[in-house]
Amino acid sequence: MTRVQAGDQAAYRRLLQDITPYLRALAARHIRNREDIEDTVQDVLLTLHAARNTYDPSRPFGPWLVAIANRRIVDGLRRRGRIGAHESPAETDLETFFAPEANLQEETVDARLVRDAIEQLPAGQRDALRMLKLEEMSLQEAAAASGTSVAALKVATHRAIKRLRELFLTRGSKS
């Protein structure tokens, strides 16, 4: 590690190759999932890389390495525990997927309905919606292109979306 701190790349590569099996064994004492073990080893190696300048060459390397490894292992266990407490197993056997061509007719009808609804909007709302949502212009770009203030564009877009919702809700209740 002293040579690594001095910038010796070959020593750094050897060090990482030599300690990786040891780190994997340390992680395997606490973690059963092979993927989580590898993730933890990579986390330890990244931490070691970031903290390599904190190593004191007058002290033994092993305890310094083990302290870093143990902290990262515990951090990983905590993180996986928090994530696991909020997750439920996915039942992938029950998933079905539609063929992409199955809904082409509906998509065509939906696109036509959206275009027709947008055409019913007042010109200012229609232009604001087109520039900001369909053409994905920034507020500044749309303001420059339309000669309208940013605030006015926001209001027009909000009103356009509100009006489109009303139009689609009334159509949906008629069906």
What mean pLDDT is reported for the chain? Answer: 85
DSSP letter for 102, please.
G
> What is the pLDDT averaged over residues 27-46?
92
Predicted TM-score (pTM) of this structure: 0.47
Is residue 18 located within the same domain as residue 70?
yes
What's the CATH code of the domain at 59? 1.10.1740.10
Please indicate, yes or no, if residue 46 is contained in any of the structural domains: yes
Give the residue numbers spanning the domain of 126. Answer: 116-174
CATH of the domain at 156: 1.10.10.10
In a domain, 106, yes or no: no
How far, in Å, CA of 160 to CA of 146, rounded? 16
Q: Mark whether 80 and 140 lie in a shared domain.
A: no
Q: Which is higher by pLDDT, 68 or 107?
A: 68
Residue 58 has pLDDT above 60, yes or no: yes
129 occurs within a structural domain: yes
Q: Indicate the number of domains in the chain.
A: 2
Q: Domain for residue 94, yes or no?
A: no
pLDDT of 168 reads: 78
Q: What pLDDT is recorded for position 111?
A: 73
Q: Select from 85, 104, 137 the last residue of a domain.
A: 85
In whole angstroms, give the CA distance from residue 28 to residue 26.
6
- What does R_g of the chain's alpha carbons equal in angstroms? 29
Residue 34 covered by a domain: yes
Does 96 reside within a domain? no
Number of neighbouring beta carbons within 10 Å of residue 73? 22
Domain-located, residue 97: no
Give CA 161 to chain center in angstroms. Answer: 27
Q: Which helix (H) or strand (E) holds 143?
A: helix 139-146
Q: Which of 28, 63, 85 is the last residue of a domain?
A: 85
For position 84, what pLDDT does the model report?
A: 62
58 with 132, same domain: the answer is: no
| Residues 66 and 8 occupy one common structural domain | yes
Is the pLDDT assigned to residue 152 strictly greater than 80? yes
Pick from 90, 89, 107: which is nearest to 98 by CA?
107
The per-residue pLDDT for 170 is 77
Residues 79-124 have pLDDT tens digits of 877 766 666 656 655 555 666 665 555 555 577 888 888 898 999 9
Instruction: With respect to residue 123, please indicate whether it lies within any of the assigned structural domains.
Output: yes
